[in-house]
Amino acid sequence: MAHAKRIKTLDILRGLAILGTLGTNIWLFAYLGDLNYLLTFTHNEWWSSADAFWRTLMLALVNGKLLGLLAIMFGIGLELKYRQAQRLGRPWPGMYIWISLILLLEGFLHFTLVMEYDILMSYAVTAILVSFIVKGGEKVMRIAMIVFAVIHVFFIGFVSLGVLAHQVTADTMATPQAVITLYQSGTWWEQVQYRLSDFWLLRLEALYAIPYNTLLFLIGVKLMRKGAFQDDVNGRNLRKKLMKIGLLVGLPLNLLWFVPGGYFDFPVRYLFAPILSLGYMGLIGWLVDKFRSLSLWGFLEKAGKMSLSCYVLQNIVCSILFYGWGIGLGGNLNSLTVIAIWIGVCLFQLLFAHLWLRRFPMGPMETARKALTGLLEKGKRTEKSLRA
């Protein structure tokens, strides 16, 4: 494979991860930020109605799974940047730190102007941390994976024990009615002020997810180094192995989401979800190998090439659709309608990415990032020449 050539399967997986992430976030938009609809403490008597069943089923299949896949894809992207730096003889992490700081800025703007559940800021901090771990070599990576896995499992175990002891309840996790009202009838500017005034409270998950994200990033690095995405026998065998183990083990564990009472909320989202993420990764890889001419892959590939633009776009579209300052659909829809809107937004993004990349070489946010990175590189070269 030529060094400059993009790996098609990676772009397809990245596109799928972005669209799937909306499969979780859309419930937050649809229920105006009410976290109880993403938990099983309440609103999860799935046997009581078809509406509750469809919401529970979709969350069992996507909640945390596609986000986990996205984190793994970020780790793969980091490994590709690391290889590029080595190939060109550039210092590492070097410019990658600046790229991550740009991502941090993008995440802050996205958090402030669009939605409080932004993932980019946490990924930016994780990327900086992992870039130094990767620089330390394979031994440092192995130790880091063990350490961060232990930290993460301990934390989730602690929270899960709190649920079992009824110290964590629906009331503990409940979204204040004032916040729901804000998204139902407040102005966009009032929502911006709310996010900024409650910045650290709203960023708690982004902070405690750093050990988890670090582990997933490093899994992505390891998969890339093992050749899991190469178009050869080894790559195909690894993808089949991921599919079999990920689906056979991950699917039953994630279906524990159907158990009411909140007992498996945190284990499913933060422990079992990555297993199914790997299963999805292997399944898509296997399907791409088996049905190479399927036109869907081309659309997903283009969405993956401009994944940052699609991620921000889908959240802007949903803000307009669901919040009170927009169309105001939030709080008034049943589960099948929410799922239909999710599918509609996904199709819109696939079409948007397809049409945009027919005219431009990369997405709008990717273009802006490249321009800013170019300015930073130029500034560093100028500074270096002056010192010389």
Burial 31-45 (b: 16+ CB within 10 A, else e): bbbbbbbbbbbbbbe
d(CA 76, CA 307): 14
Instruction: Assess whether the previous peptide bond of 260 is cis (omega < 30° from 0).
Output: no
Instruction: Please name the amino acid found at residue 190.
Output: E
Cβ atoms of residues 130 and 214 within 8 Å: yes
The pLDDT score that the predictor gives to residue 383 is: 67
Show the tokens assigned to 133. Answer: 């771990």
pLDDT in tens, the chain (388 residues): 334 467 899 999 999 999 999 999 999 999 998 888 888 776 567 888 898 899 999 999 999 999 999 999 999 999 999 999 999 999 999 999 999 999 999 999 999 999 999 999 999 999 999 999 999 999 999 999 999 999 999 999 888 887 777 666 656 666 788 999 999 999 999 999 999 999 999 999 899 899 999 999 999 999 999 999 998 999 999 999 999 999 999 999 999 999 888 888 889 999 999 999 999 999 999 999 999 889 999 999 999 999 999 999 999 999 999 999 999 999 989 999 999 999 999 999 999 999 999 999 999 999 999 999 888 877 777 766 666 6
Cβ atoms of residues 245 and 276 within 8 Å: no
Q: Which is it for the CA torsion 352, 353, 358, 360, positive or negative?
A: positive
Cβ atoms of residues 242 and 228 within 8 Å: yes
47 backbone dihedrals φ, ψ, rounded to 5°:
-80, -10
Q: What is the pLDDT of residues 311-365, one digit of tens each?
A: 999 999 999 999 999 999 999 899 999 999 999 999 999 999 999 999 999 999 9
Domain ranges of the chain: 8-381
Show the tokens assigned to 127. Answer: 């990327």
Show the tokens assigned to 195. Answer: 């996010």
The pLDDT score that the predictor gives to residue 48 is: 84
**Considering only CA atoms, which of 284, 281, 270 is closest in space to residue 242?**
281
Show the tokens assigned to 193. Answer: 């002020």
The pLDDT score that the predictor gives to residue 3 is: 43
The pLDDT score that the predictor gives to residue 160 is: 82
**Considering only CA atoms, which of 152, 110, 13, 22 is closest in space to residue 312?**
110
The pLDDT score that the predictor gives to residue 302 is: 96
Residue 150's CB is within 10 A of a number of other CB atoms, namely 12
Q: Which is it for the CA torsion 138, 143, 146, 152, positive or negative?
A: negative
The pLDDT score that the predictor gives to residue 354 is: 96
Residue 180's CB is within 10 A of a number of other CB atoms, namely 17
Q: Is 136 helix (H, G, I), strand (E, B) or coil?
A: coil
The pLDDT score that the predictor gives to residue 158 is: 86
224: left (phi over 0), alpha (psi -120 to 50) or beta: alpha
The pLDDT score that the predictor gives to residue 1 is: 36
The burial of 363, by beta-carbon neighbours within 10 Å (0-12 exposed, 13-18 middle, 19 or more buried), is given as: buried
Instruction: Please name the amino acid found at residue 304.
Output: G
Cβ atoms of residues 223 and 76 within 8 Å: yes
Q: What is the pLDDT of residues 124-181, one digit of tens each?
A: 999 999 999 999 999 999 999 999 999 999 999 888 887 777 666 656 666 788 999 9
